């Protein structure tokens, strides 16, 4: 299919330019992954530009280099291997990006997993803008912003360090960095080199080796033996593009068995029953299409060899798989793989019962947490010297009718780690001077605002939100259990999903009246239509846009989520292993579901309180 597109384009009259990434094809074009393309000195024009990408993740690297593409009146963007979970890549025209000259736009799927965007303009238009708009469309039209200073990049493979960042400025390998609107093109310069190269500006760039420079063949040469030790820290390898390589699509009950990660033809492959399921790029970059093919595999055992393309590529594969939540295990991690980071290496070698679905998911969650926080794009640029952004403040909205539950609820909030928070405590129908409240608030070590109210439930929550100062609002219930990473996991899911609301569903339910814990595996890590009310994390701006909660006594959670989706917002469901719903008599709850329903619905049951190990445990 891709070959046909190239053939048809080249058969048309005029100047046709072909660019590609993530593809091993023989065409008369420019391989943006392996060929050094210098920034144009002036306006370059062609009649037509054809951009080919292996996967949406590969297209995001092209988007980083969009300023290198010429102007044209026709731009065709084709992606050869798109996971089914991706939305159709319909670009959003914006006047600011010169889409006023758009004359025709066609988005079609000529073959399964292949998407083509064909845009025609009435006058020459920067081809790169069609590329960036298409890349954003694959990611759900989220803002492609990396919370770090503006970056300049130079060298082959440098786009790996700023995937999906149209704000990056490509520069020549020896400098200087082109100016942009009267200012320097970048605050930090990242350059990929195979050997020492001069730099023309006073401020030196951050140099990192190319994948070719770190191959075992190179390292084995005279003078190259020390390179394996040089790349011993995470900051020495390109980051994981967490916008596309993340836990989305994780399968809790896989249908296939254990596979092996081993060398095959100079590259690493995941092999199952003697056949490769996925063969990774020589650079070690993991794509969304790679991950999609591994979702039904129970786990991957690592066979360490030095026959693959090099330590840099090896660590990139492992970091990408871990960030995606693919359960990986190994007996040991060799010294040359130190760039994985000691905490992640320790998790990879920790005992994990992958035959048990619950233990397997717990291992996956631990891996993805560490990998995303160590090898994500924002984390990597902080390691390179970019200032860390201030962590967002989350305002916990806690409304209760029961003074005896205030202490328990504040204990659950106090357990949260890895996040900045404040509590807005709404006392519904009783005084702040109640002895239980006074004692609980005194013991809570954190910012807290307490107020009394007699309003209906929806108005109580809105009153609490009006007193909040956080950029995120989290609704918690007064009688449920929350693991210590509950909030930080929600914020992490928000960062890779881009959804306005993030939450979970009650996989674990404790039936307090009969002292039984029930568990039902749920489909998680996906865009959904509903999450549990006691787990709703919402962007403050989205909350205000839909007017908050309706002034109702019941169904406020459902109504809020319906309103958000009607307004074009998205809800994301992350894993539910850090949350346990407490269920007593139905009359004690706004959601009046009888206990028998939970016993019939959940096949896995235990006597007593039996949460996931990720609760650590709940008190």
> Tell me, what's the pLDDT at 11?
74
pLDDT confidence of residue 587:
45
Residue pair 298/360 in contact (Cβ under 8 Å)? The answer is yes
SS3 for 279?
Answer: strand
pLDDT reading at 590 higher than 60? no
Q: DSSP for 559-609?
A: HHHHHHHHTT--EEE---TTEEEEE--GGGSSS---HHHHHHH--EEEES-
pTM: 0.94
Name the more confident of 176 and 389.
Answer: 176
State pLDDT tens for residues 21-54: 999 888 889 999 999 888 887 789 999 999 999 9
Q: What's the mean pLDDT when you consider all of the chain?
A: 91
Segment 165-218, tens digit of pLDDT: 999 999 999 999 998 888 888 899 999 998 889 999 989 999 999 888 887 777
Name the E strands within 442-568: 448-453, 472-476, 481-482, 501-503, 508-511, 516-519, 526-528, 537-539
447 vs 264: which has the higher pLDDT: 447
Q: What are 468's two structure tokens?
A: 């909040």
For the chain, percent of residues with pLDDT exceeding 70: 92
How many residues belong to the chain? 619
Q: Which residues on adjacent β-strands are paired with residue 479?
A: none
Instruction: At 369, list the tokens.
Output: 């947490």
Looking at the DSSP bridge assignments, the partners of residue 50 are 18, 76
Place of tokens 């011993």: 232
SS (H, E, C) 78-139: EECCCCCCCCCCCCCCCHHHCHHHEEEEEEEEEECCEEEEEEEEEEEEEHHHHHHHHHHHHC
- Adjacent-strand bridge partners of 49: 17, 75
The pLDDT tens digits of the residues spanning 118-160 come to 999 999 999 999 999 999 999 887 776 676 688 999 999 999 9
Tell me the pLDDT tens digit for each residue of 420-432. Answer: 999 999 999 999 9
Q: How far is the C-alpha of 89 from the C-alpha of 53, rounded, in Å?
A: 13
Residue 56's CB is within 10 A of a number of other CB atoms, namely: 27
CA distances from 65 to 132, 185, 204, 574 (A): 9, 14, 22, 32
Exposed, middle or buried: residue 39 (CB in 10 Å: 0-12, 13-18, 19+)?
Answer: middle
Say what the alpha-carbon torsion angle 307, 309, 311, 315 is, to the nearest 10 degrees: -110
- Other C-beta atoms within 10 Å of 173: how many? 17
pLDDT tens-digit profile of 296-350?
999 999 988 765 678 899 999 999 999 999 999 999 998 888 999 999 999 999 9
| pLDDT tens digits for range 45-62 | 999 999 999 999 999 999
240 within 8 A of 287, measured Cβ to Cβ: no
3-state secondary structure of 245: coil
- Between these two residues, 516 and 521, which has the higher pLDDT value? 516
Query: Per-residue confidence at 457, pLDDT binned at 50, 70, 90?
Result: very high
Determine if the peptide bond prior to 176 is cis (ω within 30°). Answer: yes
Separation of CA 601 from chain center? 32
Neighbouring CB atoms inside 10 A of 204's CB total 10
Ramachandran area for residue 141 (φ above 0: left; ψ -120 to 50: alpha; else beta): left
Query: What are 467's two structure tokens?
Result: 């007193």
249-274 average pLDDT score? 92
Report CA Rg, the chain: 26
Structure confidence by residue, pLDDT tens digits, 394-439: 999 999 999 999 999 999 999 999 999 999 999 999 999 999 999 9
Q: Hey, what domains does the chain have and what are their CATH numbers? A: 2-144 (3.40.50), 148-210 (no CATH), 256-383 (no CATH), 395-615 (3.90.550.10)
The pair of three-digit structure tokens given for residue 307, joined into one six-digit string? 């026959």
- What does the block give as tokens for 50? 């054809």
Closest among 532, 533, 537, 541 to 458, alpha carbons compared: 533
Q: Which of 341, 317, 481 is nearest to 413 (CA)?
A: 481
At 619 the pLDDT is: 58
Among 223-232, 304-313, 460-469, 568-577, where is mean pLDDT lowest? 223-232
Token pair of 25 as six digits: 């094809």
pLDDT of residue 12: 83
- Residue with the two structure tokens 């330590």: 311
Cα 272 to Cα 295: distance, rounded to the nearest angstrom: 13
């Amino acid at each position: 299919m891709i070959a046909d597109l190239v053939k048809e384009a080249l058969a048309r009259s005029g100047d046709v330019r072909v660019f590609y990434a993530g593809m091993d094809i023989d065409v008369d074009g420019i391989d943006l992954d392996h060929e050094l393309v210098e920034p144009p000195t002036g306006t370059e024009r062609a009649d037509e530009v054809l951009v080919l990408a292996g996967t949406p993740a590969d297209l995001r690297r092209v988007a980083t280099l969009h300023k290198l593409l010429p102007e044209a009146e026709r731009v065709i963007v084709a992606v050869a291997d798109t996971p089914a979970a991706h939305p159709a890549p319909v670009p959003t025209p914006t006047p600011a990006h010169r889409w006023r000259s758009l004359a025709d736009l066609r988005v079609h799927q000529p073959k399964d997993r292949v998407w083509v965007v064909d845009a025609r303009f009435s006058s020459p238009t920067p081809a790169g803008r069609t590329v960036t708009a298409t890349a954003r469309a694959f990611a759900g039209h989220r803002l492609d912003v990396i919370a770090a200073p503006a970056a300049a990049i130079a060298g082959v493979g440098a786009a790996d360090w700023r995937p999906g960042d149209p704000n990056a400025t490509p520069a020549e390998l020896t400098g200087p960095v082109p100016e942009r609107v009267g200012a320097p093109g970048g605050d930090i310069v990242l350059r990929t080199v195979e050997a020492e190269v001069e730099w023309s500006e006073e401020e030196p760039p951050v140099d990192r080796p190319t994948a070719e420079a770190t191959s075992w063949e190179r390292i084995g040469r005279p003078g190259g033996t020390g390179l394996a030790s040089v790349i011993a820290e995470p900051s020495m390898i390109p980051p994981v593009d967490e916008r596309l390589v993340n836990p989305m699509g994780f399968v809790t009950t896989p249908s296939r068995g254990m596979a092996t990660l081993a060398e095959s033809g100079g590259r690493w492959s995941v092999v199952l029953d003697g056949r490769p399921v996925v063969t990774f790029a020589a650079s070690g970059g993991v794509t969304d299409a790679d991950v999609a093919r591994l979702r039904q595999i129970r786990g991957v055992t690592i066979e360490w060899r030095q026959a693959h393309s090099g330590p840099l590529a090896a660590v990139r594969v492992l970091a990408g798989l871990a960030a995606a939540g693919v359960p990986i295990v190994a007996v040991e991690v060799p010294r040359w793989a130190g760039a994985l980071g000691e905490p992640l290496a320790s998790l990879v070698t920790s005992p994990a019962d992958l035959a048990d679905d619950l233990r397997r998911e717990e291992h996956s969650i631990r891996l993805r947490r560490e990998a995303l926080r160590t090898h994500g794009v924002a984390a990597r640029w902080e390691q390179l010297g970019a200032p860390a952004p201030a962590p967002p403040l989350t305002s916990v909205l806690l409304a209760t009718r029961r003074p005896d539950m205030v202490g328990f609820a504040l204990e659950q909030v106090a357990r949260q780690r890895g996040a900045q928070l404040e509590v807005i405590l709404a006392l519904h129908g009783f005084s702040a001077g109640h002895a239980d409240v006074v004692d609980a608030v005194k013991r809570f070590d954190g910012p807290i605002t307490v107020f009394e109210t007699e309003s209906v439930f929806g108005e109580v929550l809105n009153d609490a939100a009006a007193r909040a100062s956080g950029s995120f609002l989290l609704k918690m219930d007064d009688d449920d259990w929350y693991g210590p990473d509950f909030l930080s996991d929600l914020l992490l899911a928000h960062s890779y999903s881009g959804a306005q609301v993030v939450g979970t569903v009650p996989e674990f339910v404790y039936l307090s009246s009969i002292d039984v814990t029930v568990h039902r595996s749920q489909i998680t890590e996906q865009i959904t239509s509903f999450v549990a009310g006691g787990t709703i994390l919402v962007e403050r701006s989205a909350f205000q846009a839909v007017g908050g909660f309706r002034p109702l006594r019941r169904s406020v959670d459902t109504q809020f989520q319906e309103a958000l989706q009607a307004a074009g917002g998205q809800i994301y469901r992350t894993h539910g292993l850090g949350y346990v719903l407490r269920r007593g008599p139905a009359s004690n709850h706004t959601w009046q579901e009888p206990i028998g329903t939970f016993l019939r619905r959940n096949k896995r049951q235990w006597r007593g309180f039996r949460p996931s190990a990720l609760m650590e445990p709940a008190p």
